Amino acid sequence: MKSFTRALAVLAVSLLSLHANAVTTIVNEAWPAGQVRTLVTNINGPINGQQTSFTGYTAGPYNYVLWPFKVTQTGVYTATAATTGVAVNTTWFLNGFFSPSNTAPTTPLSSFIVAVLSLQSASPYVGTFTGMTFTAGQQYSILVAFNSNSIVGDFATVAITGPGCVIIGPVLCKPTEPLSPAAVGSGTTATVTFAAPTSDGGSPITGYTVVSNPAGGVDSNAGSTSTTHVVTGLTYGTSYTFTVVATNAQGSGGASLPSNSVTAMAVPNAPAIGAATPGNGQVSVAFTAPAANGSAILDYTANCGGTTATGAGSPIVVASLANGTPYTCTASARNAVGNGPASAASASVTPFTIPGAPAIPTVTRGNGQLTVAFTAPASNGSAITGYTVNCGGTIATGTTSPITVSGLTNSTSYTCTVFATNGAGNGPPSAASAPAVPAQSTASGASATGTGTISASFTGGGAACTFAVGQFIPLTGHAASPPNGTAPGATTFPHGLFDFRLTGCTPGSAITMTVTYPAALPAGSVYWKYGPTPSDTRPHWYTLPATIAGTTAIFTITDGQLGDDDLLANGTIVDQGGPGVPGAPGTVTAVPTLSEWMLMLLALVMLGSVVVIRRPSR
């Protein structure tokens, strides 16, 4: 008996090691020696809480054994029953399709295998029952009834084979596969959720393990009974599926179906910011592409002070910025996951363009030059580095106003423009100035008598009126000096004479000349001139109306009138003169000259005197 039991146990272990979807379970009932069970007639009534009714099958008193069981997977199962040295007239009750068969019960009990098998010949007897559909998790029972009360020891075995494991008596199963795994990726992690198996194999589930495919993922809460597990350590850009295995005291069951596929990915890293280059109302932002983190970068965004632009790569030009306003810029990348972080800020840059145009300049004439004054225009974001003035094609440059344009022709009319230059280039020119004519309106030099420097300037005469000659000469001895011996008597000229010629004047116009001497002029000084007058066209000395005060003598001459030696209204004014001081000490006064008639009269008088004197001698 013991050897038979050991052999049966070995058989049970061997069969239970088959694939989970083809499990065979051995049921063995060893009748205790010397024990007699109560015989019942027509088993009818509750057995272990289950209602039974076997009336109508082989009447007589019965002993019986009831084995409850469950299966882990719904499907069609086969049962094989065998007697083990039991006397004749043993009866089996099994529910379902069986062979050999008697008449099937009219009302099968859902919780029992109920069938009738009569053994009329010697044991052992083996019968196979097929086509039995069991539902996972529902309790069934095997009822073995016999009409003998003399059975002891091992008398029967039952083997049940089907797609699942059979949980019966001390025989437990591994869990079935967890259900419906679903994965959601996030960066290098995936969260896997699933449902518990349909059967725990009769032993509580002690934990679950999630396995990645391909390998490399780590179940951070492996062995937990939670149905949500987080798998870490995934590689960016790699697609993964996940299976789940349940474990109980019997071991680990089969793997679930694979989950959906997820690819490890995250938003891109931040780009490395490069140079920000300012332009006209814009900044060009350069950067280095970052790691895409498993999802191809779709585009980049550059942000300069809140104004953004998007592009496929570096650089990106951000427009619509204010010239002259400083900006710092950042760059970020976007992929299918979303927008990555912004880069570090660039160095501050200021958009700029060429300067504006200066306002219409004002021009001051000079000797062969014009001095052009202007107001600085808007720099438009880049400091103005210089200005260029153009007067009739003659150019001069400078860094500030005013700028003098030299090399011009006196008495020639010019208009002038000016433009500014900055880092962006040359700005537009200003509007043209009013016409201006270079002219020498001042003259200066050392006095002919060595008293110091004399200066002269005039106003009027028209825009083109200029000094053609302006020199300070002695009373005698210079090519331009008056003839010797013609100077007015008892008069001295302490600073010599001022000889000048103005040209380009408006014919008939008047000029006012101011002559400044190195020392105050004595009281009584008058302005003497040498030359013709309208009333006497011979050159001669005469006084010109002038205002003499302190060191200055101011007089006005009208072209072609008194003071203009050519006496023509031709735009040229010629003058020669200076302040004379009457009766000055040490002055040699010229003897007045006599006319021819006076000389003849004087000769006659002298001759008569001689005659008178000689008569007495006679």
- DSSP result, 56-117: TSS-SEEEEEEEEEEESS-EEEEEEEEESSPPTTEEEE-BS--BS--PPPSS--TTSBB--E
pLDDT band at residue 72, thresholds of 50, 70 and 90? confident
Q: Look up residue 20 and give its two tokens.
A: 């989970």
Topology, domain 179-263 = Immunoglobulin-like (2.60.40)
Residue 52 confidence (pLDDT)? 43
Residue 299 confidence (pLDDT)? 98
Q: Which of 41-50, 75-84, 498-507 has the highest mean pLDDT?
A: 498-507
Closest C-alpha to 41, from 65, 62, 64, 66: 62
- Least-confidence region, from 37-41, 315-319, 577-581, 582-586: 37-41
Residue with tokens 């040295």: 85
Residue with tokens 């002891």: 152
Strand order, beta sheet including 272-279: 272-279, 282-288, 316-318
Q: What is the mean pLDDT of residues 410-416?
A: 93
pLDDT band at residue 87, thresholds of 50, 70 and 90? very low
Query: Quick one: what percent of the chain has pLDDT higher than 70?
Result: 72
Arch. (CATH architecture) of 2-168 = Sandwich (2.60)
Residue 31 confidence (pLDDT)? 41
The residue ranges of DSSP E strands in 415-463, in sequence order, are: 416-422, 425-426, 442-446, 453-460
Q: What is the mean pLDDT of residues 572-595?
A: 67
Q: What is the mean pLDDT of residues 363-371?
A: 92
Q: What is the mean pLDDT of residues 530-537?
A: 96
pLDDT at 47 over 50: no
pLDDT at 35 over 80: no
Q: Say if strands 205-213 and 239-248 run parallel, antiparallel, or are unpaired.
A: antiparallel
CA dist 448 and 445 (Å) reads 9
CATH class of segment(s) 362-426? mainly beta
Q: What is the mean pLDDT of residues 323-330?
A: 96
Task: Note the maximum CA span of the chain.
Answer: 235
Please state whether the predicted TM-score (pTM) of the whole model is above 0.75: no
Estimate to the nearest angstrom the gap between the alpha carbon of 221 and the chain centroid.
43
pLDDT at 61 over 70: no
pLDDT at 94 over 90: no
Residue 193 identity (one-letter amino acid): T
Q: Which distant-in-sequence residues (6+ apart) come within 8 Å of 579 by Cβ?
A: 493, 494, 495, 517, 521, 525, 526, 527, 528, 546, 548, 553
